[in-house]
């Protein structure tokens, strides 16, 4: 109880800039009434604090269906992805990261984790955190323990922002028969200003034989939509409503319902199934990520091949031609001085270099 009181006193100090003492806790009602705006913020903070206290944890020791409990571990920590390998050289991916894993290893394959004692074999444990008053998983922490010296360390922390999440507990690892498959996957990175974005959209609409769909967040309704759009619609979305989520470019008109995730709250509008561009013949343009101090970064994703149960299959010649035409145009319009698969607007690139130089 004393710990809880000290937590509340720290919250009071943060919001009211007072030197809170234990005697002031009894006067909490007066303090809250003193400032309605701060009281609202304080209430939200305390509510969040209590929600976190109400979250429950589940600890699970990881083993395969064959009973293997000791693994070599390969991690891509920033992306929250990992591979576990048994003594029999069976491979398992951490959680449900199969497609994502293959994307990431197209450019780099992670090395084996080693303990400070030089051992490379570990037992693995997941610590799940459930959201307050639900069975949904909010986060998963991966802890490994060296089989030689017994040293434990937290090596991965994964936030979960979707529902349902039952499979993450029921199937904590997923068998991966061929963890080193290579296929034709492309991720282009683009620092663009607004005119660069408009030029790209204008080219896609006017020079390529595509249908353009946009998944966007519409104001003031505050709902998500997935619709076929014209160039005029697209310009309106990116200038009036910057909350667009993705553009998709397809050679064919789509049956929109086929790509919707029906397991989410319809009151918030439509959600798409994950990564619909992987197996389908789509080019995806992401919404911009604001890279603090550097500008707006866009991603263009497409695959000229795809994986079907670990078998590499080709997409159509027409789609290959489409992506090749897009790449050729991007080479003529943008600069790739930043490196392979980068297509930056000239001014955006110059501002990026200048910002990096100032930061040393």
Residue 290 falls inside a structural domain:
yes
How big is the chain by its Cα radius of gyration, in Å? 25
pLDDT surpassing 80 at residue 273: yes
The domain tally of the chain equals 3
- Distance (Å, rounded) from C-alpha 209 to C-alpha 321? 11
Can you give the pLDDT at residue 330? 98
For residues 334 and 62, give the distance between their C-alpha atoms in angstroms, rounded to a whole number: 48
- Examine the domain organization and report whether 213 and 344 are in the same domain: yes
Q: Say if residue 37 is in the same domain as residue 143.
A: no
Residues 39 and 119 in one domain: no
- Write down which residue in 126, 156, 175 finishes a domain: 175
Quick check: is 180 in a domain? no
Residues 267 and 306 in one domain: yes
List all residues 6 or more positions away from 56 whose beta carbon is below 8 Å from its beta carbon.
Answer: 129, 130
Same domain, 208 and 332: yes
Within a domain: 22: yes
Residues 298 and 71: their CA atoms lie apart, in Å, by 37
- Is 209 within a domain? yes
In the numeric block, the tokens 């976190």 are attached to 52
159 and 63 both lie in a single domain: yes
Q: Does one domain contain both 258 and 290? A: yes
If asked whether residues 39 and 145 sit together in one domain, one would say: no
pLDDT band for 38, please (50, 70, 90 cuts): low
Residues 231 and 120 in one domain: no
pLDDT for 23 beyond 90: no
pLDDT tier, 19 (very low <50, low <70, confident <90, very high otherwise): very low
pLDDT at 18 > cutoff 60: no
Answer whether residue 107 is part of any domain. Answer: yes
Each residue's pLDDT tens digit, 286-308: 999 988 788 899 999 999 998 88
Q: What is the mean pLDDT of the chain?
A: 85
Same domain, 130 and 191: no
- Binned at pLDDT 50, 70 and 90, residue 2 comes out as very low
Distance CA(251)–CA(316), nearest Å, equals 11
Domain boundary among 126, 145, 175: 175
Q: What is the pLDDT of residue 31?
A: 45
Residue 38 domain boundaries: 2-54
Residue 158 lies in a domain: yes
Same domain, 201 and 169: no
Q: Are 227 and 168 contained in the same domain?
A: no
pLDDT per residue as tens digits for the range 339-359: 999 999 999 999 999 998 888
pLDDT tens per residue across span 170-227: 999 999 998 998 889 899 999 999 999 999 999 999 999 999 999 998 877 788 899 9
Where a domain ends, among 175, 205, 239? 175
Answer whether residue 329 is part of any domain.
Answer: yes
């Amino acid at each position: 109880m004393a710990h809880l009181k000290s937590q509340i006193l720290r919250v009071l100090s943060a919001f009211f800039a007072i030197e809170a003492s234990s005697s002031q806790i009894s006067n909490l009602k007066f303090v809250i009434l003193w400032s309605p705006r701060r009281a609202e913020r304080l209430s939200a903070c305390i509510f969040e604090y209590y929600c976190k206290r109400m979250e429950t944890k589940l600890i699970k020791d990881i083993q395969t269906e064959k009973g293997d409990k000791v693994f070599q571990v390969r991690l891509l920590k920033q992306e929250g992805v990992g591979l576990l390998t048994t003594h029999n050289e069976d491979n398992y991916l951490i959680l449900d990261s199969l497609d994502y894993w293959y994307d990431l290893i197209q450019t780099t394959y992670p090395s084996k984790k080693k303990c400070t004692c030089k051992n490379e074999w570990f037992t693995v444990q997941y610590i799940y955190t459930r959201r307050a008053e639900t069975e949904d998983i909010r986060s998963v922490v991966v802890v490994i323990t060296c089989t030689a010296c017994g040293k434990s360390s937290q090596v991965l922390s994964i936030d979960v922002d979707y529902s349902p999440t039952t499979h993450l507990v029921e199937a904590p690892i997923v068998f991966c028969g061929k963890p080193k498959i290579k296929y034709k996957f492309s991720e282009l990175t683009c620092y663009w200003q607004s005119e660069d974005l408009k030029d790209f959209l204008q080219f896609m609409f006017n020079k390529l034989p595509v249908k353009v769909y946009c998944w966007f967040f519409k104001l003031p309704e505050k709902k998500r939509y997935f619709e076929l759009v014209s160039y005029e619609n697209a310009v309106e979305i990116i200038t009036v409503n910057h909350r667009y989520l993705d553009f998709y470019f397809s050679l064919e008109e789509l049956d929109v319902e086929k790509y919707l995730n029906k397991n989410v709250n319809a009151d918030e509008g439509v959600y798409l199934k994950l990564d619909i561009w992987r197996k389908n013949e789509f080019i995806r343009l992401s919404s911009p990520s604001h890279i603090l101090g550097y500008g707006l970064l866009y991603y263009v994703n497409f695959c000229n091949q795809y994986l079907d149960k670990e078998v590499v299959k080709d997409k159509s010649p027409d789609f290959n031609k489409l992506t090749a035409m897009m790449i050729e145009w991007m080479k003529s319009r943008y600069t790739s001085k930043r490196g392979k698969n980068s297509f930056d607007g000239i001014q955006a690139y110059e501002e990026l270099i200048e910002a990096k130089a100032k930061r040393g």
